Amino acid sequence: MAIDPVCKMDIDEKTAVATSDYKGKKYYFCAVGCKLSFDKDPEQYLAAK
């Protein structure tokens, strides 16, 4: 399982609605809206860890 970096939902990598690659790592998303938010400013979501 992966965690959507935007909404923090648990996401099954096999059924993720969308993905993004950033700095050599793949991120999985529950919805296209979360992917679009992440793509605009990935560091905003990654810094929240």
Residue 18, domain extent:
2-46
Residues for the chain: how many in total?
Answer: 49
Which of 10, 2, 8 lies closest to 49, judged by CA?
A: 8
Q: What is the pLDDT of residue 42?
A: 97
Measure the CA–CA gap between 16 and 2, rounded to whole angstroms: 9
Q: What is the pLDDT of residue 31?
A: 97
Count of the separate structural domains present in the chain: 1
**pLDDT tens string for the chain (49 positions)?**
999 999 999 999 999 999 999 999 999 999 999 999 999 999 999 986 5
Sequential DSSP letters for 1-49:
-EE-TTT--EE-TTT-SEEEEETTEEEEESSHHHHHHHHH-HHHHHTT-
Q: What is the pLDDT of residue 49?
A: 53
Cβ burial, residue 40 (10 Å; 0-12/13-18/19+): exposed
Q: What is the pLDDT of residue 48?
A: 61
